[in-house]
Structure 1
């Protein structure tokens, strides 16, 4: 599992007094930085490889300014050219949002997906989600 800590900003708080729902997918993306580095070590858009093709977010509890959040990111499934992530946002000891996100390894020069290289696959396998009954 990858963990990323975020300090909510005033600008992310809406008129209802909680973090706006549009911010949550951005925080999930922040939790993927180490995965992005596996595919594009220099994080250059010139060499970018990861393309998001699907995201589903469940909002469970409100999130608030002034209280740190933790984004937890697991690899749920590794396909030939795609991977599915399972993500959670925690605040004050509670899960406040969950997401499942699918990415593909995409070559922009030829405009096609490509298989995930074995060295990246091996690193991703270290972060596989262990399903709990």
Structure 2
């Protein structure tokens, strides 16, 4: 998927699909959505992996963002919605790599790749993902 031509990538290319509403307050002086809000839309998509997040909480852990690469391809405009495609490209020992696309009116407006690490709430150190967590994440895997 990461090697797919950006023009061929669609919202339906992702195993997890969600959306968010564009609010007037999201816009800047140029009349388009402020670039900082793109990260909020990505967070919305990642939060849709509810079954996985429940397992993280049951394990007395949290998820922390270790790195993110965001390619801004076009602007997002008000009014409207943003479609958020989310998939997992790598499941590691204590981390996963999440690949996401943002779309508006069928157009790919951004691509992002994030590394998220499971952190033990007590020790504040990374903690290995359980086998059950890895199984849940497999349903979001993309190439």
- What is the number of equivalent residue pairs in this alignment? 128
CA RMSD of aligned residues (A): 1.9
The runs of 5 or more residues in structure 1 that have no matched partner are: none
Provide the C-alpha distance between the structure 2 equivalents of 1:33 and 1:95, rounded to a whole number of angstroms: 20
Q: CA deviation at 1:81?
A: 0.6
Pairing 1:8–2:22 present? yes
Provide the C-alpha distance between the structure 2 equivalents of 1:30 and 1:82, rounded to a whole number of angstroms: 19
Q: Secondary structure at the match of 1:62?
A: coil
State the Cα deviation string for residues 2-46 of structure 1 (Å, max 9, x = none).
1111110000011101110000011100111133551335969xx
Q: Which runs of 4+ in 1 moved over 3 A?
A: 39-44
Which residue matches 1:96? 109
State the Cα deviation string for residues 89-121 of structure 1 (Å, max 9, x = none).
000111101100001111020222111111111
The runs of 5 or more residues in structure 2 that have no matched partner are: 1-14
